[in-house]
A and B are shown apart, each in its own frame.
Chain A
Amino acid sequence: MVKTLLGRSWIWSWIAAAAAFGLIMLLTQGRGAEELAYAALSFGAFAAIVGLGQMMVITLGPGNVDLSIPATMTLAATLALKGMGSDPGTSLLGLAIAIGVGCGAGLANFALIYLLRLPPIIATLAASLIYQSLAIWSNRGLRIKPPADLADFATGRTIGIPNVALIALVLSVVVWIVLERSVFGRWLLGSGQNLRAARLAGIPTQLVRAVTYTSVAVLAAVAGYLLASFSGGASLNMGQEYLLSSIAVVVIGGTSIAGGNSNVPGIWGASLFLFLVVSMLNSYGLGAGVRMLLTGLIIIGIVIAASTRRGRA
């Protein structure tokens, strides 16, 4: 039992998250456990949603990554909040705008990659400059408040669990089913393992790429919409920290960076871990330099642990 569990590459991110949680509890002597778990679920949810998208893209194989996630989040959130204009009862309109922006951004990214034959890193990075500029141009960085009912929902809880975490959980289950149980999931994994073999086997690899790049952008747009509703408005730099963390949660979670192998439970372990490790190092009063150094070392440690286990299995 233990051996099978240790063989799973996602277990290491969960062990690390639990260890970080335990270390904070050691400091507070058990105070605030519920408070901390609640905060970790709330903030972990956003990293988990963008992480799911990034994981699908990385699964496509070497060189595939979406660097436009922060800009897509910002643009979707800015336009959605502008469209809603703080009026009550417009939450669904806002969500529709966000998803529309996500679809547009995803298709634009794919068009750059497919039509212009640009490497995804260059294409999505260049596109992100355009999305960010559109966000600046559309609202000059002014923060519009979300409608009160949407803000209450985003910061609220159901049966003790943050609503945003529930949404992220539903999305995770959907992505897991698609990847593990659907034909599209097989196509995606197949394309990631060997693109040429997949094409020769009759898999519509370009369609798979198009759908995947659109999915990641839609997930980023939804995350941006939720984050802006959660934190009281869209700001121009709201997506910034999700560039690195979207990739970090994929890698820490045990998904193979070489593609062809994805891992949904690991995304959650890694998202909770990323929040908890910063909280832990902050709680112990370590300076920013030491904190970043330790975060880097811990991440390397987990990745090594997860990948050597996989190698032996």
Chain B
Amino acid sequence: MKTLLLSAAAIAMAATGAQADTSGKRIALSNNYAGNSWRQAMLEAWEDAGSAAVDNGIVAAADAFTTSENQATEQAAQIQNMILQGYDAIVVNAASPTALNGAIKEACDAGLTVVSFDGIVTEPCAWRIAVDFNEMGRLQVEYLAQRIPEGGNLLEIRGLAGVFVDEEISAGIQQGIEENPQFTISGSVHGDWAQDVAQKAVAGILPSLPEVVGVVTQGGDGYGTARAFDAAGRDTPLIVLGNRQDEMLWWAEQRDANGYETMSLSIAPGVASLAFWVAQQILDGAEVPKDLNVPFLTVTQDTLDDVLAETPEGSVASTTYEQADAQAVIEAAE
């Protein structure tokens, strides 16, 4: 009965186009961490895109797996299990850019398609959907330079120490400072991309800081920073935000109260759906370059209300990518 239905679906799909090629293919998501709102939104984006694709008969399965301890060894074992389970493609958000390379190579050798995104891997046989984190840092300083041409002291909120993304964004900020020497970083703390950690770290360093005109951040830390400035009785500086709903809500409240202006940028967690469609396109036989770039999602004073209305309370601003978006990204890279 099931085969009958499947073949009926296959015939139906064959009539509509080339997608029939992937209707029997199974795609797995290997995810290293689920413990924050960005990752939760990312998993939801995967589920939405994956289940819709399964319902429409575009792929046979789109299962998500998350490791519990955020360890590269654990994720390598997970990928090996996926090979044994006979998946046709693995989409991976990696715990480490290099430590998974062995397992990824095994998957490639077994004939699987591997697509890494967000946390990308260096193994050449895998595809990489990367975000230009460096640019994300540089753009923040560029924005501050437009808003505060006379410059001044900046506070830098960094992410999790020792993580690739943190180093990239911070390097971008340094580059921005070199281009705009009217700014100096007078203090830097690690906020671990979490509001409460950032709040604590900023509260600790504030007493030793001179007047701060701007704060450059990495996302997930802007609201905590604002609360720390508020608790210390200081004027709120220009804080660049990272698309979290609580940050944007705070921004909208400040705007209504005193005309506060800033910008907000981060990667949309919907990038998981883009990775899904890229994997599907590769399985479909499309020629896809190994390195793809996703644009980051920027919220400005003008788009704030619309984005805020669309973002669930306590979540992160996101966009959902469709098959056509994936095709556009692939074309842009060629």
Contacts and interface: CB of A to CB of B under 8 A. Distances in A.
Nearest to B204: A279
Contacts of B190: 288
Nearest to A141: B40
A24 B187 CA distance: 14
A8 interface: no
A43 B192 CA distance: 16
A232 B226 CA distance: 11
A31 B40 contact: no
B304 interface: no
A143 to B, nearest CB: 3
Residue among A136, A282, A289 with max Cβ neighbours from chain B (10 Å): A282
Contacts of B11: none
A19 interface: no
B246 A35 contact: no
B161 A288 contact: yes
A254 interface: no
B44 A140 contact: yes
B34 A136 contact: yes
Contacts of B39: 141
A282 B36 contact: no
Interface in B152-208: 158, 161-162, 187-190, 192, 194-197, 199-201, 203-208
B187 A236 contact: no
A97 B245 CA distance: 26
Given A143-B246, A231-B224, A136 B207 contact: no
B313 interface: yes
A155 B201 CA distance: 16
A143 B207 contact: no
Given A35-B232, A237-B36, A285 B187 contact: yes
Residue among A40, A129, A141, A232 with max Cβ neighbours from chain B (10 Å): A141
Interface size class on chain B is: 35 or more
A236 B220 CA distance: 12
B319 interface: no
Interface string A149-160: 000000100000
B249 to A, nearest CB: 9
Residue among B35, B44, B189, B231 with max Cβ neighbours from chain A (10 Å): B35
Contacts of B203: 39, 42-43
B295 interface: no
Interface string A276-289: 10110011010011
A238 B40 contact: no
Contacts of B162: 288
Contact of B314 (A27, A136, A233, A241): A233
Interface in A232-254: 232-233, 235-238, 240-241
Contacts of B236: none
B208 A24 contact: yes
Interface size class on chain A is: 35 or more
A3 B207 CA distance: 35
Interface in A257-309: 275-276, 278-279, 282-283, 285, 288-289, 292
Given A28-B207, A283-B208, A144 B201 contact: no
A51 to B, nearest CB: 16
A271 B252 CA distance: 36
B122 interface: no
Interface string B19-58: 0000000000000001111011100100000000000000
A136 B205 contact: no
Interface in A195-243: 227, 230-233, 235-238, 240-241
A143 B37 contact: yes
Contacts of B289: none
Contacts of A167: none
Residue among B41, B200, B224, B232 with max Cβ neighbours from chain A (10 Å): B200
B195 A282 contact: no
Contact of B205 (A233, A240, A282): A282
B36 A235 contact: yes
Interface in A17-42: 24, 27-28, 31-33, 35-36, 39-40, 42
A271 to B, nearest CB: 12
B37 A236 contact: yes
Contact of A231 (B35, B199, B232): B199
Given A288-B161, A288-B190, A282 B35 contact: no
Given A285-B188, A288-B161, A39 B40 contact: no
B173 to A, nearest CB: 14
A54 interface: no
A143 B245 contact: yes
Interface of A: 24, 27-28, 31-33, 35-36, 39-40, 42-43, 129, 132, 136, 140-145, 155, 227, 230-233, 235-238, 240-241, 275-276, 278-279, 282-283, 285, 288-289, 292
Interface of B: 34-37, 39-41, 44, 68, 158, 161-162, 187-190, 192, 194-197, 199-201, 203-208, 223-224, 227, 231-233, 245-246, 312-315
13 contacts: A27-B208, A43-B200, A136-B34, A141-B39, A144-B314, A231-B195, A232-B246, A235-B194, A236-B37, A236-B40, A279-B205, A282-B204, A283-B207
Given A28-B207, A140-B44, A276-B204, 4 more contacts: A231-B224, A275-B204, A279-B208, A283-B204
